[in-house]
Structures are given as C-alpha cells and as structure tokens.
Chains A and B, each alone.
Chain A
Amino acid sequence: MIERLRKIAIWIDDRIYISKIYTATAGHTVPRTSGSWFYVFGSGTLLCFMIQIVTGICLALVYVPSASQAYTSLEYLNYQQQLGWFLRAMHNWGSNFMVAIMLAHLIQVFLFGAFKYPREMTWISGVVLLLFTLGMAFTGQVLRFDQDAYWGLGIGAAMAGRVPLLGPAIVHMMLGGPIIAGQTLSRFFTLHVFVIPGTIIAIVSMHLRLVLTKGINEYPVPGKLVTKETYIKDYEAGLKKNGVPFFPKAISKDLIFSGLVLLGITFCAAYFGPEGPHGIPDPTQINTAPKPDFFFLWLYGVLSLMPDYLETVVMLTAPFIVIGILFAVPFISNTGEKSPRRRPVAVLSVVLIFIVLGAFNYLGTYAPWSPKMEAWTNAATPINYLEGRSPLERQGALVFHNKQCINCHSIGGEGGLRGPALDRVATRLTSDQLVRQVIQGSGNMPAYGKNLTPAEVAAVVSFMQTLHKPNEVPARDATQPEQKAKQNQRDASAQAALARK
C-alpha cells in the first residue's frame, strides 16, 4: 500500500516537477547571515499584498462600481452585509500596513546596499512596485466613493489640467468624460481591480525571480567592498561555505514577523473598524474640506506651502525627477561599501527625507494653511478679551467674527492658522498700519476696503489694540518724536490696564 502511494507520489513529482521547483524556490540556498530581523520586511509586504487580494475579492463580491450606488453599497457593507465592516477594515488596514512595511523594506535594502552590483534590476523592479502600490492606495481611496474621493479626483484633474497643450485631453482621459461621474469611477475601478494588481503580480514575480537568481543580499560587513570582478565569485563561495536552505533554516523570523503583521492588521481592523465612507459624493454639498488619506498628507502640505510661481513646474516635473533619482540609485553607487556604518551620506539622506516627509505629514494632519471655514460662527471669543472693553472695542470683536477675519486669524487660540495670530498684533503694527493692512490687504491677505465701512475698520482696529498684555509695548510710529510716543504709550497702557480692571 505504502509502496503504491510512494509510486504515485513519484509519478506526480516526475510529471509536474514539484521537488525541482521546491529546491529552486523555498529550499534554495541563502547566506546564513540573511536570516536576520532586518530581512523580514519583503515577505511582510508580500503577505499584506495577499491579504489585499483576498479581502479585495471579498469586497468586490458586494461593492457596486457605479457613481449612483457605490456609496450605498459601502454603507450596506458597513451595516448590513454580515462582517462586511470587518472586511472593509481589513482591506483598509492591510493597505496602511502594506505601504508602511514596504517603506521599511525600501529603507532596509537602501541602507544595506542591496541595490548594488549585480542587483540593480531587483531595486528597480522594487521601485516600480512602490509606485504601483501608491497607485493602488490612490485608486483605492477613489473607490471609497465619498466627498473626499470626489474632490480628490478634482485635485488630480486640476493637476493634470496644468499640462501645457495636452492638459484638457489628459483630463478627459482620466475622468472618462467631461466631469467626475460614473465613467470616472468605472475607470478607477478597472485600474484598482484589474490593471494595477495584475501588473503588480507580474512585477512581483520578476522581483522574486531576481532574488532567487541573483541571490539575496548578504548581511553587509564594513570594509568588505563590492567589485564587479570578485563579487559573484565571493558570493557563491560564501554560499558553499555558509549557505543554508531558506526553508527551514532562514525563514523563521519572516514567519514570526508575518504572523505579527497579520495579527496587527486583524487587531486594528477589529478595534478601529472601517474607514468611511464620509460625506455623500454630491458635488452640490459644498460645505466640505477635502483631505487626502494619511499617506498623501505630505503631498497636501507640499502643494499648500510651495511658492505659487513654482507650483506648476514642480507639479509637472517633480514626480519624474524623484522617480528618476530612485531609478538611478544603483547606478550612482554601483560598487564599493555596503554597510550603513561606512555610508554616512546614505544614512543622512534617509533621515533627512523621512524627517521632511514626516514634518509635512504632521502639518497635513491639522492643515494650518486652510482657513477654518466654520470658525466665524462657532469659535468663541475669550472672555478676557471682552471684559471691560468699550462699546467700540466690543463692536470690533463682532466685526472680527462677522467678517470672517477669525477664519484665518486666531485670537486667544481660537480661529484659523492661515494668517498670523493677532493677540499681539498691536505690538507689531501701529493703528495706522493696522488700518492700512485691513483696507488694502497685502501679501497673503485680501483687501477689505470695499467690504468694511470706515466705522467697522475703526472698531476692529481698536479691538486689536486691546489684545496684547499690559506689559507689552505697543508698536510706535518711528516718525513721531520719542517723547510724545512714550507719552502716548503710557496713556494707552494705562487706559488698557484700567479698562481690564
């Protein structure tokens, strides 16, 4: 009996090459040093991708890619479809984990010099995978067809529309028509479900085949230089001397990490639940402040804080420059030292890039550049800014709210951050300068001359002058004799102090 089973097994193996495939893949020899905690991120990313495929297929069974019904079907998934909320949450958290772990993988292979000779194409295929993964993140955000998705598409179209000559054609191609509507969603559904994942599977296959054929990078040793003449010979000699089969000798840490990732995604999904959908995708609901998902917040920041005159140029060229640099990395530094201990520029670049991205992302979480559109009706004026004020000054406080000044300027920590906080503005500007600033605007401030009566200007300026602390010296007109100015100051401070009593 056993002999017969053995024969069957051998027959199957002979016909479909299982053992040969095994030796060439899971059982292939890797340097013993690659069984390191630093080498777990690639397999972690692959695991996330598989989670995305499985959960994505499940979601596609229910989701309706139609502009009129996508939103309803998402609500259905959240509240009616059994465990639909959980699968949506898994898919969302899977994508967060995937981008995060992929970035960790990128940093690790960069710092360990894994992109150097002869693994240039492994790096380049990895960069392509990174771009396609970000493409999945953006198109996925569109499929969560809510207000943010709608206006996010508008932002994408506005950027594409800046391309000289071809702009309008690109916008029509991207939207599948003249406006963001049903055909736009169908397009992004196709990209997200067929085109990009299919390409990712193909390129992952290439990436893995390269890992098998060119070998995984050995743990870098400071002082051991890569040269084109000796590297491959040394690597193969190393494999003979110190090689172990990937399975079962070098896979344990990958397994542990993957298990933790799966637990992490499941925990986050169960605890935090699915993301959105937020407001309905109805363009006539204009009381909205669109915001991108976490991984694109840095872009939101960059687009807000860049000088205006640079914007179009940067929008249309920066992506190509950045991608070009990423592609060029293995050719800029093709041989030589691999260890991060001997590559200070590489280490500093990583630190610098991630500090910059992190800072922009942090700013993006509270978007100080956006006016607070509701502040004029719902922000409070601090009581100590009203106590003991004259009727004119209190009128100024009303003007400050009614004319939406507070949407951009804060007082007492309430209000927008687009313009400077105005608590101490009277220590920087004299009353004449304040009047001029309000009426004419300048820099980033609109001119209010046509929309405020002289009485309103006088009121708001007198209110501004009461906000600073009594011991802070108000700004003075340099053309006035100092004696007189001091006298004025003293009078003003005394008045202010009295008023506040």
Chain B
Amino acid sequence: MAVKELEVISETSPERLHIEMPRRAFLLKLGFLLNGIAATLVSVPALGYLLSSYRKEGGFTSWIALGSLATFPENQTRLAKFRNPYTHEWDGQTADIPCWVRRMDGDKFQIFAINCTHLGCPVRWFQESHLFMCPCHGGAFYEDGSHASGPPPRGLYEYKYKIENGQLWIHGGQLPTLNQPA
C-alpha cells in the first residue's frame, strides 16, 4: 500500500513527508535504544571492575600472627610489624604494616594502630613520658591509647587480639579510619 503511494506522490509533497517521518523517527529511536542497551551492557562490568576495590566490613581483615609472646616483655610498649594479609607482589614494603604492642601484666595486651586518629600520621611512643606523640599536627595519647591532647577526635585505634600456642594474633588488614576503625 505504502509503496504504491510513494510512486504517485511527488518527492517534496507534504504527504510523502507524512509517510516517511514515522519511519525515520522510529529508526532514530531504535538507534538510541540499541546504543542504550549496548552502553548498559558495557558499563555494568566496567563499573564492577572499578568498584571491586570496595568490600564490606570485614572483607579485608583476618587474624595475623605478630610473633611469640616472649618478644613482648611485660609492662612495655613495643613496635611490631606484620605483612598485610591482602597484598600483591608489587606492593613491596608498603604492605609491611607497623603497630604498637603494649603488654600489661600477664597476658593482657593493647595493640594500637600506628595511625593517629586525627589524620593518619604515624604516632611515636615515648617510653620516658609514657606518651604517644604525632609528628604532624601535635596529637598526643596516653599509654593506654586514650586521647591526651591536640586535635585527634578519639583515642588510638585498637586491634582485637588473641593468644594461641604462645603466639600473639591480631585482627587487622586495613587502614583504620574514623568510620572504620581497625
């Protein structure tokens, strides 16, 4: 039917445009739709790839051995380090994470993250004044990790620990931040 009409109607007549426009409009819409579908199909895996570095709470953490109990004398605070459980070969030294181990009487411990709770700089332990001091913006913490002075909004981040077979284990694996402490 349409073909027959095309034959009799001249190129520029309004009737011809009337017949052809719906087809062009349809093709345009089809083009958009097709590309929309293709774009979605491409972007879903791309987004999944990009977002894969996010894991839920606990997704990166596990129990890590810090060494035998004998290496941590009673009533002392010592620097210890561990290899982060989530790591790649090309991480080099950056996956060696330090922490402060405070052994109190007997088998009671406190294990603090190295990162100041203000902006993450490495706090240093001073045996003599029994303080942790931060070199960046001047935060200070007491021996038990509680806030002593300066801008930090809370005490030091503390790792969970357990003792098994004469070994000290901590639960860690990610950079502690305010809304996701160690």
A residues touching B (Cβ–Cβ < 8 Å)?
66-69, 150-151, 154-155, 157-165, 167-169, 171-173, 175-184, 280-284, 286-290, 303-304, 306, 308, 311-312, 369-371, 373, 376, 402-405, 407-408, 418, 441, 443-448, 450-451
How many angstroms from the CA of A155 to the CA of B134 in the assembled complex? Answer: 13
- In-complex Cβ contact of B94 among A165, A171, A281, A404 (8 A): A281
- Taking a contact as CB atoms under 8 Å apart, the answer to whether A157 and B175 are in contact is yes
| B123 nearest CB neighbor, chain A only | A286
Q: Could you jot down 26 A-B contacts, CB within 8 Å?
A: A67-B92, A68-B89, A154-B119, A158-B177, A158-B178, A162-B179, A172-B54, A175-B175, A178-B174, A179-B175, A182-B91, A182-B94, A281-B92, A282-B96, A284-B79, A284-B97, A284-B98, A303-B137, A371-B133, A371-B134, A373-B135, A402-B128, A418-B138, A444-B150, A450-B143, A451-B130
- In-complex Cβ contact of B53 among A172, A284, A290, A304 (8 A): A172
- Taking a contact as CB atoms under 8 Å apart, the answer to whether A403 and B129 are in contact is yes
Contacts of A159 in B (CB 8 A): 119
Contacts of A158 in B (CB 8 A): 115, 118-120, 177-178
- Taking a contact as CB atoms under 8 Å apart, the answer to whether A163 and B179 are in contact is yes
- Taking a contact as CB atoms under 8 Å apart, the answer to whether B90 and A179 are in contact is no
Contacts of A448 in B (CB 8 A): 129
- Taking a contact as CB atoms under 8 Å apart, the answer to whether A286 and B175 are in contact is no
How many residues does chain B have at the interface if contact means C-beta atoms less than 8 Å apart?
60
A-B interface pairs (CB < 8 A), number: 205
A12 shortest CB reach to chain B, Å: 37
Chain A interface, DSSP helix/strand/loop, else mixed: loop
- Taking a contact as CB atoms under 8 Å apart, the answer to whether A161 and B180 are in contact is yes
| B148 nearest CB neighbor, chain A only | A446
Chain B interface, DSSP helix/strand/loop, else mixed: loop
Given contacts A68-B90, A158-B178, A179-B84, contact A446 B122 (CB under 8 A): no
How many angstroms from the CA of A184 to the CA of B128 in the assembled complex? Answer: 37
- Taking a contact as CB atoms under 8 Å apart, the answer to whether A181 and B87 are in contact is yes
- In-complex Cβ contact of B130 among A173, A177, A179, A450 (8 A): A450
- Taking a contact as CB atoms under 8 Å apart, the answer to whether A286 and B114 are in contact is yes
Contacts of A451 in B (CB 8 A): 129-131, 143
| B98 nearest CB neighbor, chain A only | A284
Contacts of B149 in A (CB 8 A): 441, 443-446
How many angstroms from the CA of A284 to the CA of B142 in the assembled complex? Answer: 21
| B81 nearest CB neighbor, chain A only | A284
B42 interface contact, C-beta 8 A: no
| A168 nearest CB neighbor, chain B only | B180
A89 shortest CB reach to chain B, Å: 25
Known: A169-B54, A283-B97, A284-B97. 13 other contacts (CB 8 A): A155-B120, A155-B121, A158-B177, A159-B119, A175-B53, A179-B174, A181-B88, A287-B124, A303-B151, A311-B153, A312-B178, A447-B148, A450-B142
